[in-house]
Structures are given as C-alpha cells and as structure tokens.
A and B are shown apart, each in its own frame.
Chain A
Amino acid sequence: MTIRFASAALVLFFAATIAFFSVSAPRFATASTVENLMSSFSFVAILAMGQAFPLLVRGIDLSIGAIVGLVGMVVFDLSLIFQVPGWIILPAALLVGTAAGALNGALVVCLRLQPFIATLATLAAYRGLTYAVSGRQLVPGLTTTPIRDPWIVGIETYLDVGRWTGLSTFVNMPWLPLSFVIMLGVFVVLQAALSSTRFGRDVYATGGNHEAARLAGIPIGTVTVCAYSISGFCAAIAALIMVARFTTATEALGTGMELSSIAAAVIGGVSLAGGVGAMFGPAVGAFLLGTILIGLTLQGVPQFVQQIITGAILLAAVGYDRLLWLRRERRPAAGAGPA
C-alpha cells in the first residue's frame, strides 16, 4: 500500500514537473525533447533499476559506474583491436558486467565486507583495470576510430512509431529510441522477477530482515550475490547503449553514474534501509531527473543551480523515505500495545 502511494506521488510529481516545464520552458513540449529525454536517460533508468537490487538487499553498489567503464572498454578492445564480430561481443559484454557484479556480491558475502567498502574498493579496481586494458592506450591511433559494427551501433536506432501507427499525420511524434525499448524490456523482466518469483520474495525478505530471512531458510548469501550480479548485468546493458550512442568508449565512461543511479533509485522510492521498492520508481526517478535537467537547461538556468535543485530533490526523497521507515517502525509497536 505504501509503495503504491509512493509510486502515485512520484507519478504525480513527474506529471507536475512536465506540466511546469511545458508552460515555462521554451520548446520543452516538443517531440524532439521527448526523444532527447528517452535517448539520454534510458541507460540511467537501467542503471537505477540495477542499483535497486543491492539497495533492496540492504547493500549498495558504488562500482556500477566503473563496471560501465570496464564493459565499455572491453567492447572497444574486442571490436577495434581484435575485430571480434558484434554478435559475440554482446554476450561477452553482458558476461563481463555480470561477473564484475558477482565479484562484488562475493566480497560482501564471503569476506563479510560492508557493501559500501567492498564496492568502493572495486570502484577503484575496475576503473584501474579499465585503464590497464584500454585499447586507446595500447593502440593510440584507435582514439579517433569509431566502432562501426552493426550489432553494436545498431542499438542506437530510432523507430518511426508515428508513421507506423499513422499518428504522425495528426501530431509531430518523437521517434522511439531502441534504447528506450530495451529499458522497457529490462523493466518488465526485472519487475516480473521481483513480484512473481521466489527469488523476488527472497530479495525483499533478505533486505527487510537479514536474520529473520536466514532463520526462515532463505539462502541470503546466494540472494545477495544474485542482486549484485543483476546490478552488474544492468551496468553492462547501459555500457552497450552508451558505446552505441558514442561509437566509442573512453576510460572515464560511466564516471559518477553510481551517484545518478542511487539518486534515481532513492527518488523512485527504493529504501536505503532495504526491503522496500520496485522497478517502476527507479525508472521514473531517472526520467524525472532528466526532465528537470533538460527543462532547466532550456530555461537557461545555470547548471550549478540545477545541481542544487537535484540535490534538494534527493534530500526530500531521502527524508520521505526516512519518514516512511519511521512509520513502519511504529506500526508493529502500536499493534503490540494493550487493546
């Protein structure tokens, strides 16, 4: 019930934000802005959904941006140095991302490291590894060579949905980026996994109360490793979308994305205390942040003001999360009191 209320509040806030900028920002309510929003923030939404899994098991993945960088460089090397065909690169990239995420989970579970510390360490390690394997350093001439493999750059395709549906004869429709369709696919699969499978229930139980979950026979170690693996998998998908968009990868690809993904997830109602949240919120949270950034840029608001506003929204979301947590804490106490 609480999640539904939070989702409704988020959707209302998102709608109000769009309405505000449609009226106040010049050229905001246009097909090209919608297209820009979808293509620029679909990968942020995927990262936010991936980040939600470690958060749901009461962890955090600070290395998610570094995994994006590592996967991007693997794609760069395989494509430009080793000339590996794209249909092999795609699964290889997903495998690298998932393995990097699984290693995070293993560090948390096997070495019993604090998730913050474990993923902070791998953030540095994965970024360093990215530099170490960088084809841009090994073969300097490749810095000005774009990736042209159709399997990879084909991800940056736009679909003329308006023409297919006939709607473009009535209204100027945005072209639908394939990255947005991929984001929708990731959303459907992950939400189904969370709400309709035993794994999903185990994720909520592990995040809600580790000890109770363990006593109930839930393999919290396996669940935790899987949660971090999903985060790494999502980072790999985001990396593929970014490489397709830029036709290259840089060593700094994904830098700072950990903060964007955490912000979008928390704004989307995923609790930092674990056990609360769904996929819808982080996805909407990412597009909400995108809407605000684009709207304010169109209004000519300086970027430092944009950052302050984004920070304020994040603070409000964390405050709201804390309020809900306090309410949840009080509820059983009230129930346990004398009738």
Chain B
Amino acid sequence: MTTDRSKGRRDFLKAVAIGSTAVAGAAAGMFGTPGLPATGFGVTRARAEGTRYRMAFIQWQPHTVPAAWSKGIEEVLTPQQVIDYELLDGQNKVEVQVSLMDTLISQGASVIFLQPIDSVALAPSIAKAKRAGISVITLNIDATEPHASHVEMNHYYGAMDIAKAMGDAMGGKGKVAILNAPPGIIIRDQRTNGFVEGMKQHHPGIQIVADQVADWDRKKAQDVLNTILAANPDLGGAYGVNDSMALGAVDVAKEKGLLGKFVVFGNDGETAALESIEAGELTGTQYTDVYQQGRLAAAAATVLATGGVEAGAFAQQSRLLMPYVIATKANAGSIQPSQRW
C-alpha cells in the first residue's frame, strides 16, 4: 500500500509537471508573441489565418461538477477567439455518449473532452477518434483505450484522507455508514475502497456497519440514513461519496437533534457543502478546484489542437491527478469565492 501511495505521489508530481507545461503552452498561444510573424503553429497563427477549431465536452449528465468543468474549460478557450466550444449531454446513457462521439468525429472536431460513463464502453469510440486524428481528454473517469490525457480528482487517496479526518473527529472509535452511489461506476469503487482502506489503516477501531445506495441524491440519502439509524441507533457518523448525499445526512442529523454529535463527511467540495461546513453542520469534505481541473484540460487541448500535435503521437497517456484539501471548519474559509463552484 505504501508503495502504491508513493507511486501515486510520483504520478501526481509528474502530472503536475505535464499540466504546468500545458498551461504554459496554452498561455504562450493565448497571448501570442508581439512582433513575430504569424508563422508556425499556435493560436496566433490560427487567428491570423482565420482557422477555427471545434471542441466539445461530452458530460455524463447535467450536474454541478461537469458544469464547473465546462465553465473552467470555457474560461480558457473563449478568449482565444479561434475555438468553437459546446457542452453536450450524455444523458447518463452509454449509447448516447457513443453516438455523440461519432457525431463529433464526423464533424471533424479537434479535441473531445469526455467524462465517460464506462471505461470500457467508450474505448472503441476513443480508438475511432484517434484514427481520425482527434485528441481525447478524459475527465475524472479514465478509459481503457490510451488517449491524449486524463485529468481526475484524487478519488482514492482523497477518500483515505477523509477516513483519517473522520476517524479523528470521532475519537478513533464508533460506527459509521457509507451513503453510496449505484454500483458499476469506477468513481464509486475508488471513493469507497479508499475510505475503507483509510479506516483500516488509521482507525481500525471504527466499524463500517452499513454501505447503502442513495443514488447520489440528497432526498434519497435522508431516507436511507433514517433506515440505517433505525437499525443502528448508536451510529456515530456517515460518509457520503458525494456532497449531495452528505448534505442529506446533515438534514437527518438536524431533524433528530444530532448536530454536533453526528460526524458527516462528503466528497467533491461544492459550494453548498462548504457553506454547510462554515455553518457548523457538515463536518468536512474533500475539496477539489473543479474550475481549475477544467482549465488544465482546456490548456492541454489548446496545445494539442493549435500546436498540430497528432492524436496518435503519444507513446504514453498523460495523467493529471488534481490536488485537493480536506475542508473542515478550520480551513474552509480559506477557499476563495472564485474557487467555489
């Protein structure tokens, strides 16, 4: 495990280097070089020649996270004035995402941002895009087909740190429940396995007594937690694998007068969760600057498209793990309004 973790750290540092290079490259293209003729590659030349690039982001389904990614992507792409960008809805269906991939391939898109519903199911489409010379950048969920780049939240290690912080808040003993996503999603497995492993490593005295599906949903999480509490009245805390479910647990704690005694952690770091932490309700969450995640992906995309980098030119897929913090009442205030999504 320690070796895995060290490797994770090494990957992270490598990824930060790749990300920085991408941002620097994009910035160079974005601002141009005064006095130089519009030759070679880059945004400056594209602007001079009137070349337009088409990029699109195929999201899983509408949600605060992809919406924030898209905003971050737009912040980088729009000012360059040579890229047409749109956000497409995968409608939570593999077949819709595959069809949209096909449409973008026929359309001759330059770069496709993709939040795949399934790592395997989208792999043939990614291979097809590569054959057509289109670079694919995946967000949060990787694909089994190697592609240009993958930018993800640090689900596994973040969840381990959540377990540590949660166990600390509970004094290293007691019972917790997991409010989980439906099965069959890699993020769910990473966020659950990381949490379970983190508890084992840091707080073996804490028992995970329930792991129930609450469909990513606040209302469903309330119902599920009420049932769990009926069976385990001495439950000391709940971990929602996303913030919506954690906020559902906060609602239950409020209703039952358990606020302050019941420890609740979420995952993602959306604005509502940070506000709840500051109000002394939610104990904590893993915060990732999702705007920045989108910006990094867009910066890499700009370099790939305007730099004339071919989709098949990669010996190895780059992978960027986003930095994160475990936000609690002690540090949530340091997350600036512009970083809140």
Check: B123 CB closer than 8 A to any chain A CB: yes
Cross-chain contact of B120 among A39, A145, A294, A303 (Cβ < 8 A)? A145
The digit string for A196-218, where 1 denotes a CB below 8 A from any CB of B, is: 00000000000000000000000
Task: For the A-B complex with A248-B118, A250-B94, A255-B93 known, give 7 more contacts whose Cβ atoms are closer than 8 Å.
Answer: A36-B105, A36-B106, A246-B94, A246-B98, A246-B124, A297-B100, A303-B91
Interface residues of B in 61-114 (CB under 8 A from A): 84, 86, 88-89, 91-95, 98-100, 102-103, 105-108
Which chain A residues border B99 with CB–CB below 8 Å?
36, 40, 293-294
Q: What is the chain B residue whose CB lies nearest that of A43?
A: B95
Interface residues of B (CB under 8 A from A): 84, 86, 88-89, 91-95, 98-100, 102-103, 105-108, 117-124, 144, 182-184, 186, 189
A to B CB contacts below 8 Å, 26 in the list = A32-B106, A40-B95, A40-B98, A40-B102, A131-B183, A143-B119, A146-B120, A146-B123, A242-B95, A245-B95, A245-B98, A245-B124, A246-B94, A246-B95, A246-B98, A246-B118, A246-B121, A246-B124, A247-B121, A247-B123, A250-B121, A251-B184, A252-B93, A293-B99, A298-B103, A303-B88
Known: A27-B107, A40-B98, A297-B88. A248 touches B121 (CB 8 A): yes
- Chain A interface mostly helix, strand, loop or mixed? helix
The digit string for A238-271, where 1 denotes a CB below 8 A from any CB of B, is: 0000100111101111011000000000000000
In the assembled complex, the CB of A4 is this many whole angstroms from the nearest CB of chain B, namely 32
Interface residues of A (CB under 8 A from B): 26-27, 30, 32-33, 35-36, 39-40, 131, 134, 136-137, 140, 143-146, 156, 242, 245-248, 250-253, 255-256, 293-294, 297-298, 300, 303
Q: What is the chain B residue whose CB lies nearest that of A251?
A: B184
Give A30 to B108 CA distance when docked, in angstroms. Answer: 11
Are B183 and A303 in touch, CB under 8 angstroms? Answer: no
Are B124 and A256 in touch, CB under 8 angstroms? Answer: no
Are A143 and B120 in touch, CB under 8 angstroms? Answer: yes
Which chain B residues border A253 with CB–CB below 8 Å?
94
Q: What is the chain A residue whose CB lies nearest that of B117?
A: A250
Which chain A residues border B102 with CB–CB below 8 Å?
36, 39-40
Are B106 and A255 in touch, CB under 8 angstroms? Answer: no
Which chain B residues border A245 with CB–CB below 8 Å?
95, 98, 124
Which chain A residues border B103 with CB–CB below 8 Å?
33, 36, 294, 297-298
Give A27 to B123 CA distance when docked, in angstroms. Answer: 24
Are A33 and B106 in touch, CB under 8 angstroms? Answer: yes
Are B95 and A136 in touch, CB under 8 angstroms? Answer: no
Known: A140-B189, A255-B92. A27 touches B106 (CB 8 A): yes
Are B107 and A26 in touch, CB under 8 angstroms? Answer: yes
Which chain B residues border A36 with CB–CB below 8 Å?
99, 102-103, 105-106
Which chain A residues border B183 with CB–CB below 8 Å?
131, 134, 136-137, 251
Which chain B residues border A137 with CB–CB below 8 Å?
183-184
Q: What is the chain B residue whose CB lies nearest that of A146?
A: B120
Give A256 to B118 CA distance when docked, in angstroms. Answer: 17
Which chain B residues border A298 with CB–CB below 8 Å?
103, 106-107
Which chain B residues border A256 with CB–CB below 8 Å?
91, 93
Are A252 and B92 in touch, CB under 8 angstroms? Answer: yes
Are A247 and B98 in touch, CB under 8 angstroms? Answer: no
Closest A-B pairs by Cβ, 8 of them: A246-B121, A32-B106, A248-B120, A36-B102, A40-B99, A303-B89, A251-B184, A33-B106
In the assembled complex, the CB of A123 is this many whole angstroms from the nearest CB of chain B, namely 16
Known: A36-B99, A246-B98, A256-B93. A143 touches B184 (CB 8 A): yes
Which chain B residues border A247 with CB–CB below 8 Å?
120-121, 123-124
Highest count of chain A CB atoms <10 Å: which of B95, B117, B124, B144: B95
In the assembled complex, the CB of B97 is this many whole angstroms from the nearest CB of chain A, namely 10
Which chain A residues border B121 with CB–CB below 8 Å?
246-248, 250
Give A293 to B103 CA distance when docked, in angstroms. Answer: 10
Are A250 and B95 in touch, CB under 8 angstroms? Answer: no
Cross-chain contact of B119 among A30, A144, A297, A303 (Cβ < 8 A)? A144
In the assembled complex, the CB of A23 is this many whole angstroms from the nearest CB of chain B, namely 16
Which chain A residues border B105 with CB–CB below 8 Å?
32, 36
Give A252 to B99 CA distance when docked, in angstroms. Answer: 16
Q: What is the chain B residue whose CB lies nearest that of A238?
A: B95
Q: What is the chain A residue whose CB lies nearest that of B95?
A: A242
Give A144 to B123 CA distance when docked, in angstroms. Answer: 10
Are B86 and A300 in touch, CB under 8 angstroms? Answer: yes
Give A294 to B105 CA distance when docked, in angstroms. Answer: 12
Q: What is the chain A residue whose CB lies nearest that of B145?
A: A146
Which chain B residues border A136 with CB–CB below 8 Å?
183-184
Cross-chain contact of A156 among B94, B124, B186 (Cβ < 8 A)? B124
Q: What is the chain B residue whose CB lies nearest that of A246?
A: B121
Which chain B residues border A250 with CB–CB below 8 Å?
94, 117-118, 121, 184
Which chain A residues border B106 with CB–CB below 8 Å?
27, 30, 32-33, 35-36, 298
